[in-house]
Chains A and B, each alone.
Chain A
């Protein structure tokens, strides 16, 4: 086994996989993408000069891989829509909640669902800042942004997340009321 792979796997595999999973919300896709991250990392590992931390460097590669994936998926989506004369609302892929989330309390499940409604940039910041607990500086390094952009995006992300949670909870409440009346 490649010693570089072994070392990176031990140190960062969980982080990379977790990051990719929260980005793409699908275990199989996250598994494929993690492979791509390793290919890219092993190809350029010798050039890593240690100016940034190894973790932020790896996460920045994972971020590129995820964004590439979204881009490909978007063009695939466009092709399908053109071919079948569907509209975008008809082509929605609802993923079941992953087991790890499904066993959590309702609030956490709600949070997971609402996170998907945020923009990719907002998701990136939230995942890195709160799920991976990176500092503002580390997040900026990973995303190649300025610290102020990270702060602004985080602020907006938390604001919209709160709104989405309130909307979803209200919807859920209404549905529950309906069911109990019936």
Chain B
């Protein structure tokens, strides 16, 4: 066979010689066609929702009539209701400020994770915030605009989180900017103002401050944090001392349930301690950490076997496990998925338990680990 002396440089040079292919149409012609195409697009945007409204009205009328023969679709409907219904970002055509879901709807949504599927190509950022009583740091997933810088996305996310509704405190992250370095996305710069309360408060504030930043940066893929007090390197904390950098190692934590009060939602929060193995983490998830961090695996659920298969982990529940469809069992699965993510698994397969599914999670199929925990219902600013 004939040898060809092409190396990378030759290939690159040849690629650069590929000609520019130009549109043969004139500007006016392109614009004319664009106007036409926009009209069709608008018509579609108007017609399809209108059609949907008409169908919805007809359905409401049909359902309100007693004994209407509609039993056929009931099973399908029940199945749909089980699926996570979080839409992190709606279609981008309304000019008004609108909630993605109204605030009091959160109890209707059992899911406490964001899946790649629900994300639907949109972006989220995860912000770690202390609860209002400074007991734990809660990671919250907030939908953001794709074309903003990460720094801006985090700032926007903070403004979208309502402290009252979610029972968190943003105080320690106010006046703090976080952004990845330009040349190394794993190294993050965190800048704090001189007047920040962490400089004048005690150990709890310092711990919560550092933990919140660590949690945020960890979820955003950072491995190292460089602190600055305005333009001066490092932060001088009265109890923890001078902190210049913080290296983030893999934590391998377990997830627990946390609810600040009955009027606040239940969140999935990581354990303060780390575990050697995934099995050990699962075992610990059956026990409460304290009065506020409750076990994520209910007492009636027994894990028979954990089988690691490369980046998938199979979990077999004992046949006598009580796996009824309730928010608690759904959150158990989600806490397991988040814990699996901590241990580097990419998917989880649930088996046994004498059930075919728990909510949207089907047994025997690989379930991808989530992209974020605790999606919050946010209000998008006006566009």
Given A18-B20, A158-B8, A169-B2, are A131 and B34 neighbors across the interface (CB < 8 Å)?
no
Contacts of B30 in A (CB 8 A): 9, 13, 34-35, 38
B185 lies within 8 A of chain A by Cβ: yes
Contacts of B20 in A (CB 8 A): 14, 18, 100, 131
Nearest B-chain residue to A165, judged by Cβ: B6
B243 lies within 8 A of chain A by Cβ: no
A28 to B152, CA, bound (A): 39
Instruction: Decide: A13 and B14 in contact? CB cutoff 8 A.
Output: no
Instruction: Decide: A35 and B22 in contact? CB cutoff 8 A.
Output: no
Instruction: Decide: A38 and B34 in contact? CB cutoff 8 A.
Output: yes
A18 to B21, CA, bound (A): 5
Distance from B219 Cβ to chain A, minimum over Cβ atoms (Å): 16
Instruction: Decide: A162 and B23 in contact? CB cutoff 8 A.
Output: no
A39 to B45, CA, bound (A): 13
B383 lies within 8 A of chain A by Cβ: yes
Given A18-B21, A36-B37, A39-B34, are A131 and B15 neighbors across the interface (CB < 8 Å)?
yes
Tell me the dominant secondary structure on chain B's binding face. loop
Residue among B23, B25, B28 with max Cβ neighbours from chain A (10 Å): B23
B148 lies within 8 A of chain A by Cβ: yes
A14 to B22, CA, bound (A): 6
Contacts of A108 in B (CB 8 A): 14, 17-19
A137 to B6, CA, bound (A): 27
B33 lies within 8 A of chain A by Cβ: yes
Contacts of A169 in B (CB 8 A): 2, 4
Within A24-52, the residues touching B (CB, 8 Å) are: 27, 30-31, 34-36, 38-39, 42-44, 46-49, 51-52
Within A66-92, the residues touching B (CB, 8 Å) are: none
Instruction: Decide: A111 and B23 in contact? CB cutoff 8 A.
Output: no
A52 to B18, CA, bound (A): 27
B92 lies within 8 A of chain A by Cβ: yes
A101 to B14, CA, bound (A): 12
Instruction: Decide: A22 and B21 in contact? CB cutoff 8 A.
Output: yes
Within A91-150, the residues touching B (CB, 8 Å) are: 98, 100-101, 104, 107-108, 111-112, 126, 130-131, 133, 137, 144, 146-147
Which bracket fits the contact residues of B? 35 or more
Distance from B24 Cβ to chain A, minimum over Cβ atoms (Å): 8
B149 lies within 8 A of chain A by Cβ: yes
Given A39-B38, A111-B14, A146-B185, are A13 and B23 neighbors across the interface (CB < 8 Å)?
yes
Residue among B14, B33, B145, B149 with max Cβ neighbours from chain A (10 Å): B14
Contacts of B2 in A (CB 8 A): 169-170, 173
Contacts of A30 in B (CB 8 A): 21, 23
Contacts of A48 in B (CB 8 A): 147
A39 to B39, CA, bound (A): 10
Distance from B326 Cβ to chain A, minimum over Cβ atoms (Å): 37
A35 to B17, CA, bound (A): 27
Instruction: Decide: A2 and B149 in contact? CB cutoff 8 A.
Output: no
Distance from B161 Cβ to chain A, minimum over Cβ atoms (Å): 21
Nearest A-chain residue to B149, judged by Cβ: A51
Instruction: Decide: A51 and B148 in contact? CB cutoff 8 A.
Output: yes
A1-18: CB near B (< 8 Å → 1, else 0) gives: 110011001000110011
Distance from A173 Cβ to chain B, minimum over Cβ atoms (Å): 5
Instruction: Decide: A35 and B34 in contact? CB cutoff 8 A.
Output: yes
Contacts of B41 in A (CB 8 A): 39
A14 to B18, CA, bound (A): 14
Given A5-B34, A169-B4, are A47 and B145 neighbors across the interface (CB < 8 Å)?
yes
Instruction: Decide: B22 and A166 in contact? CB cutoff 8 A.
Output: no
Instruction: Decide: A162 and B11 in contact? CB cutoff 8 A.
Output: yes
A131 to B14, CA, bound (A): 10
A79 to B18, CA, bound (A): 35
Instruction: Decide: A104 and B17 in contact? CB cutoff 8 A.
Output: yes
Instruction: Decide: B23 and A31 in contact? CB cutoff 8 A.
Output: yes
Residues of B within 8 A of A (CB): 1-2, 4, 6-8, 11-12, 14-25, 27-28, 30-31, 33-34, 37-38, 41, 92-93, 145-149, 152, 182, 185, 383
Show 14 residue pairs from A and B whose CB-CB distance is below 8 angstroms, ordered by the A residue: A5-B34, A6-B27, A13-B27, A13-B30, A27-B24, A34-B30, A35-B37, A43-B93, A108-B17, A111-B14, A130-B12, A131-B20, A162-B8, A166-B6
Known: A111-B18, A146-B185, A165-B4. 19 other contacts (CB 8 A): A1-B31, A5-B31, A9-B27, A13-B23, A13-B30, A21-B21, A27-B21, A31-B33, A35-B37, A44-B92, A48-B147, A60-B147, A98-B21, A101-B19, A111-B15, A130-B15, A130-B16, A131-B16, A162-B6
Q: Which 8 A-B pairs have the closest CB atoms?
A: A130-B15, A17-B23, A21-B21, A100-B19, A35-B37, A51-B149, A111-B14, A170-B1
